[in-house]
Structure 1
Amino acid sequence: MRAWGGDEVEQAVTDAVAVLRTAADRDWEGVRAARLEWSCRRTAEHVAGDLISYAGQLAGRAQNAYVPFEITLDEGTDNTGALEVIEATGRLLSAAVRTTPREVRAFHPYPFRSANREGFAAMGVAEVLLHTHDIAQGLGLAYEPRAELCEDVLTRLFPHVRPGAAPWPTLLWATGRGELPGRAPVTGWRWSNPLVLPAGRLVLEGVTPAAARDLAAGGDGGFAWVADGPFHGTREAAGMLVKAYESGVHRPEWGMFVLVRREDGRAVGGMGFHGVPDEDGCAEVGYDLAPSARGHGHATEALRALTAWALARDDVRRLFAKVERANLPSQRVVTRTGFVRVEDAGDLLAYELRP
């Protein structure tokens, strides 16, 4: 899977500016941007501010808050000048995305307080697409971004949204800007960057539908794997995630994580849940490792971190795991984590973990 983000930010900005430049000689300050409370001019300045802010988060490696600065356009800057600022800040974000290592994460509040370079790129693209739509509506301009950019945003920032017949109307609906047949109007929304959990020598990185599609199709999902990874169980789990996403039942924190070694950034396996907790507060876990990564305690470290996160939640009362009777190493992993065997079902043994 190729590195995603830098080219897409520039493409979104280029297309948006080309449309808005056709109306640069009009009054943007006195025209409201669609359903927003802002004027078209204020909305354009907001886009530039978001792009430079995201670039600053990545470049500054901010961990606990936004880097404390704002962008201000010089007094007397006209609409053409504002568009030039959007182009410049878009290129700055693109450069930050291209030069930031994939393992770097920086602060963003929604929903798990961090994002990586791909997340900031996707948020930048989303800001450009959505607010260009707002300005274009206010000015009476025709605007429809490239379908692939809209789908890129949906599969990275809206994993909880069931895909629609076309990605642009779906993105507008998901952000309260449009309607979709058979779906209730959206009145409040947030996008969702993946959950990341520290686990000793490892980091558990949440997998987006975009990455899962690539993994299920035989790609690397954007991760740098050990030579014999990912193992087939990880690809199967990725396929299950894609099906859940396409059905509209995927919830990112109850999906799949890739296990990444801190020492070298190599992905060694996959771990996650088979779905959200049921009405009794029970969730099933599963995992696998590339053969070369087995026997080093990685699965135990990862499972302890994942189960501790899950059992600390109010909606989880027990966790469940099924292990093949012949898989003695996996049985040792669950028992070292604290699971207790509760059922013998032929070739499978069932284990349970409670708070």
Structure 2
Amino acid sequence: MRTWGEEEVEQAVAGAVALLRTATDRDWDRATAGRLEWSCRRTAEHIASDLLAYAGQLTGRAQSAYVPFGITLDEGTGNADVLDVIGTTGALLTAAVRTTPREVRAFHPYPFRSANREGFAAMGVAEVLLHTHDIATGLNLDYEPPAELCEDVLTRLFPHVQPGSAPWATLLWATGRGDLPGRPPVTEWRWSNPPAIPAGRLTLEGVTPAAARDLSAGGDGGFTWAEGGPYEGTRDAAGMTVKAYEAGVHRPEWGMFVLVRQEDGRAVGGMGFHGVPDEEGSAEVGYDLAVSARGHGYATEALRALSAWALSRDGLRMLIATVDRHNVPSQRVLTRAGFVAVSEGEEEISYELRP
């Protein structure tokens, strides 16, 4: 899977600037931007501010809040000049995405308090697409970005939104800017960057539908894998994630995670849930490791961290796991992570972990 983000930011900014340059002679201060309460001029300035803020978060490695700075435009700055600022700030975000290592995460409030370079790139693209739509609506311009770009944003920032046949219409609906047949209006929404859970020598990185789709198709999902990975179980789990996303029932906190080794940034396995907790508050967990990563205690460290994280969330009362009765190493992982065997069948043993 190729590195995603830098080219997409460039594409989104170039398309937006090219369209809006055709209307720089109009009064952007008097025209309201779509369904927003802002003027078209203020909305354009907001695009530039967001692009700069995301570049700042990545380059500054901010961990607890936004870096406290922003844009102040010179007096007399015209509409064409604002577009120059959007182009410049877009180039800054592109450079930040290009030069930031994949494992770096920086502060963003929604919903898990951080995002990586791909997340900030996707948010930047979304800000450009959506607010260009707002401005274009206010100025009576026709605007529809490439469907692939819209789909890229949906699979990275809206994992909880069931995809539709038209990605642009789906993105507009998901952000309260349009209607979709058979779906209720959206009045509130947030980005959903994937979670990252520290686990000793590892970090459990949430897998987006975009990464899951690549993994299930035989790709690397954007990760650099240890020898022998990703293993068959990880690809199967990725396929389950894609199916849940396409059905509109995927929730990232109850999805799939890739185990990334901190010392070298290599992925060593996959771990996650088979779905959201059921009516009784029970969720099933599964995992596997690349062959070269087995025997080092990685699965135990990861399962302890994931279990503690999951049991601290509302709605979960119990974790369960089912293991082949001949898979003694996996049974040991569960036992060391605090799970207790509760039943045995001819082929499998069932385990539980309660708070």
* TM-score (norm: length of structure 2): 1.00
Q: Residue 234 of structure 1 aligns with which residue? A: 234
Secondary structure of the residue that 1:349 maps to in structure 2? strand
Uncovered stretches (5+) of structure 1, i.e. residues with no partner: none
What residue identity is the alignment partner of 1:215?
L
Question: 1:1-355 to 2 correspondence within 5 Å?
Answer: 1-355=1-355
Write the distance in 1 (CA, Å) between the matches of 2:318 and 2:228: 33
The CA deviation at 1:314 is 2.6
Secondary structure of the residue that 2:105 maps to in structure 1? coil
What residue identity is the alignment partner of 1:84?
D
What residue identity is the alignment partner of 2:58?
L
The CA deviation at 1:81 is 0.2
Secondary structure of the residue that 1:259 maps to in structure 2? strand
Secondary structure of the residue that 2:14 maps to in structure 1? helix
What residue identity is the alignment partner of 1:313?
R
Write the distance in 1 (CA, Å) between the matches of 2:300 and 2:258: 14
| More displaced 10-residue stretch of structure 1: 334-343 or 125-134 | 334-343
What residue identity is the alignment partner of 1:153?
V
Write the distance in 1 (CA, Å) between the matches of 2:227 and 2:123: 32
The CA deviation at 1:90 is 0.3
What residue identity is the alignment partner of 2:240?
M
Alignment coverage as a number of residue pairs: 355
What residue identity is the alignment partner of 2:348?
L
> Are the counterparts in 1 of residues 122 and 156 from structure 2 also a CA contact under 8 Å?
yes
Write the distance in 1 (CA, Å) between the matches of 2:120 and 2:258: 20
Secondary structure of the residue that 1:287 maps to in structure 2? strand
Secondary structure of the residue that 1:137 maps to in structure 2? helix
Secondary structure of the residue that 2:25 maps to in structure 1? coil
Write the distance in 1 (CA, Å) between the matches of 2:345 and 2:43: 60
Uncovered stretches (5+) of structure 2, i.e. residues with no partner: none
What residue identity is the alignment partner of 2:40?
C
The CA deviation at 1:346 is 1.9
The CA deviation at 1:190 is 0.5
Q: Deviations over 1:10-47 (max 9, x none)?
A: 00000011111100111000110011010000000000
Write the distance in 2 (CA, Å) between the matches of 1:270 and 1:114: 21
Q: Deviations over 1:119-146 (max 9, x none)?
A: 0000000000000000000000000000
Q: Deviations over 1:88-122 (max 9, x none)?
A: 00000000000000000000000000000000000
What residue identity is the alignment partner of 1:248?
G
> Are the counterparts in 1 of residues 227 and 291 from structure 2 also a CA contact under 8 Å?
no
Q: Deviations over 1:136-166 (max 9, x none)?
A: 0000000000001000000000000000111
Q: Deviations over 1:147-193 (max 9, x none)?
A: 01000000000000000111000000000000000000000000100
What residue identity is the alignment partner of 2:123?
M
Write the distance in 2 (CA, Å) between the matches of 1:333 and 1:227: 21
Write the distance in 2 (CA, Å) between the matches of 1:314 and 1:270: 24
Secondary structure of the residue that 2:115 maps to in structure 1? coil
| More displaced 10-residue stretch of structure 1: 16-25 or 118-127 | 16-25
| More displaced 10-residue stretch of structure 1: 163-172 or 309-318 | 309-318
Q: Deviations over 1:248-267 (max 9, x none)?
A: 00000000000000000000
What residue identity is the alignment partner of 1:4?
W
The CA deviation at 1:316 is 0.8
Secondary structure of the residue that 1:288 maps to in structure 2? strand
Secondary structure of the residue that 1:203 maps to in structure 2? strand
Q: Give RMSD over aligned pairs.
A: 0.5
The CA deviation at 1:210 is 0.3
Secondary structure of the residue that 1:319 maps to in structure 2? strand
What residue identity is the alignment partner of 1:55?
A
The CA deviation at 1:345 is 2.2
Secondary structure of the residue that 1:189 maps to in structure 2? coil
The CA deviation at 1:2 is 0.4
The CA deviation at 1:73 is 1.1
What residue identity is the alignment partner of 2:284?
E
Q: Deviations over 1:277-303 (max 9, x none)?
A: 011000000000001100000000000
Write the distance in 1 (CA, Å) between the matches of 2:163 and 2:104: 29
Displaced runs of 4+ in structure 1, greater than 6 A? none
Secondary structure of the residue that 2:131 maps to in structure 1? helix
